[in-house]
Amino acid sequence: MEQDRINELVDTINKASYAYHVLDSPMITDQEYDDYYNELLRLEQKFPLYKREDSPTNRVGGEAIDKFNKVIHQRPMLSFDDIFNEDEVIEFDERIRKVIPHPEYTIEPKMDGLSGSLIYEKGVFVRGATRGDGLVGEDITFNIKTIKTVPLRLTQDIDIEIRGEIYMSYASFEKANQERERNGEALFANPRNAAAGSVRQLDSKITAKRNLDFMAYFIPNPEEYGIKTQEETLRFLKDLGFVTNINLNQVASTTSEIVMYIDDLASKREKLPFAIDGVVIKVNSLLDEEKLGFTSRVPRWGIAYKFPAEEVLTTLIDIKFTVGRTGKITPNALFHPVHVAGSLVSKATLHNEDYCKQKDIRIGDTICIRKAGDVIPEVVGVKEERRTTTLVPFEMIQFCPMCGEELIKKEAHHYCVNEHCPARKIESLTHFVSRDAMYIEGFGERIVEDLYNMNYIKKVSDFYTLKKVKDELKELEGYGEKSIQNLLDGIEASKGNSLERLLFALGIRYIGKKTAKILAKKYKTMDNLLSTTYEELLSIDDIGEIMADSIMNFIQNSDNLTLIHELKGYGVEMVYKGIDTRNNIYIENKIFVLTGSLEKFSREDASKIIEENGGKTSSSVTGKTSVVVVGANPGSKYKKALELGIEIWTEDEFLEKVKSE
């Protein structure tokens, strides 16, 4: 009797939840829901053996764990490549049409949350996991159970994996921050960060209070359920009991339709109840998906269009000056924290004195902030009309803020010329281990600064002597045996880097990643470079007098030669390990633009061929363009090439030139 009533109540409440969350058509009143829920709670407490796995009372949380267990995804959870403009939408479509002549696409909002995987057995929810690195995630089953838009039992008794976005609505975000403010806690920066933090709580009761949601959008193996298109996938998900974005989705067959959808959704963005940061474009047919396949890291059949950077206003509080590894002094804007493009920011670079004076930036100004590429905060400009009082014009400092040395100005920038300035030393050491340089994993600015201040690292070669003081390092506060060993392993691995990484890491003035690679390709070994001449450097494309002077000054400096000798002695390899370019008189030293629908090779393959043969590619036609390679329907770039009298090749001509040498 009691078991029958429990089953009846669970089924009634779950059906009511489905009608409310999925169908947006309530079948009972809030009062009835509460009455049924409270009755069920009383019966389950009295007869716990009859409690079902899919009982709605499981959503209150209460399970606490010590840590999250790792979960290996049966199928990798890959993410899409990002694009940022209409030209890239067209290029994506062109790549697809080389394989699928007449593709159809589904277009849907790109939710700004975090990906989650849900596993159901015989229709009952059994496990939830985060995406993690795409191969291994974390088990968050207890926390997933608290999300009301995750059905604990599906409408069909099937085994299935469902993927979607775990997110926090704007309403839940505001409510959560109000509570945190009352409790004197730091506020969440944005809904995405709030969702990510909430779903990784070790106590699921905390997660339950945050009112997270789940938007389903993907099944890894849809063909096993008779599904043939992405559009059918969304309908099937809704039928199973999930909330989907099907009402906001659209099917398109042309790039103009895709662009119109993007513009329309962007205009609706602020009115949506949840955050989105772009649009996801997928090939609709699953058979077409299979033909297109995957690269080693992303699906070829989909792409993520990111919305342009958002601009917001705030007040400039102060300008702080920092010292870089070359001694360059950079003014930085400190302003009232403001949400921009999904995160809370409070500082941005102001580049140099000229930048500050051109924009007439003054402390106290109302400034406009945006994120370049939705990543790096930048000051767009000043709202001079909002100045209500007299503000002090910007003045560049005259002395180094770290060592007090008088600054000198070279071109647009000011420099501290004190080679022993602590700030320069630390920046130089941090640069050496950074991702684009020697990439010694585990080292960050804080660790470098600690080891510098404790006299373990004073120059870059000291990184390779740290293993001698391993036992001492283990005794330092906050440095365990495992973390020290990881640092030492990273140091050892860095010895095998290709020459261009070392050249960039050494911090030769004016030599960035690109020039470092040019030098490495040209000279092959460090010894060859050390034997070069000024005239030989000037003969290299892309290296002018300033760069040549800087390189010669570096390789003629006795301290630098001693450093290179030390690094060799510690086993750091100094040879180029990249792909050698072939000399082709038709391609070498020329700038190419690719346009139109290319049928015999992809743009990526063409660009690689050009680079390997000593040429370069550009996205726009200018007076410096050497050759325009055209496919079908080339458009405005072809017309501009004709106007400028630039050489034009067909695909066949391009391939002929490549094979000719």
Question: Which residue numbers are catalytic?
Answer: 110
Q: Give the separation between CA 90 and CA 97, rounded to whole angstroms.
A: 11
Q: Give the separation between CA 334 and CA 408, rounded to whole angstroms.
A: 24
Task: Give the number of C-alpha atoms closer than 13 A to the C-alpha of residue 153, restricted to the C-beta side.
Answer: 17
With a CB cutoff of 8 Å and minimum separation 6, the contacts of 57 are 37, 40, 41, 44, 51
* Residue 107 near residue 252 (C-beta atoms within 8 A): yes
Q: Give the separation between CA 253 and CA 104, rounded to whole angstroms.
A: 5
- Rounded to the nearest 10°, the torsion over CA 188, 189, 191, 195 is -50
Phi, psi of 220 (to 5 degrees): -65, -30
Residues in the chain: 661
Phi, psi of 175 (to 5 degrees): -65, -45
Longest dimension (CA), the chain: 97
* Residue 333 near residue 348 (C-beta atoms within 8 A): yes
Nearest to 566 by CA among 458, 489, 469: 458
Give the tokens for residue 175: 């409510």
Helix, strand or coil, per DSSP, at residue 314: strand
Nearest to 517 by CA among 496, 532, 531, 498: 498
Q: Give the separation between CA 545 and CA 335, rounded to whole angstroms.
A: 40
Q: For the purposes of burial, counting CB atoms within 10 Å of the CB of 201, is it exposed (0-12), middle (13-18) or buried (19 or more)?
A: buried
Q: Give the separation between CA 367 and CA 363, rounded to whole angstroms.
A: 10
Q: Give the separation between CA 227 and CA 233, rounded to whole angstroms.
A: 6
* Residue 108 near residue 179 (C-beta atoms within 8 A): no
- C-beta atoms surrounding 30 within 10 Å: 9
CA angle 176, 177, 180 (to 5 degrees): 90
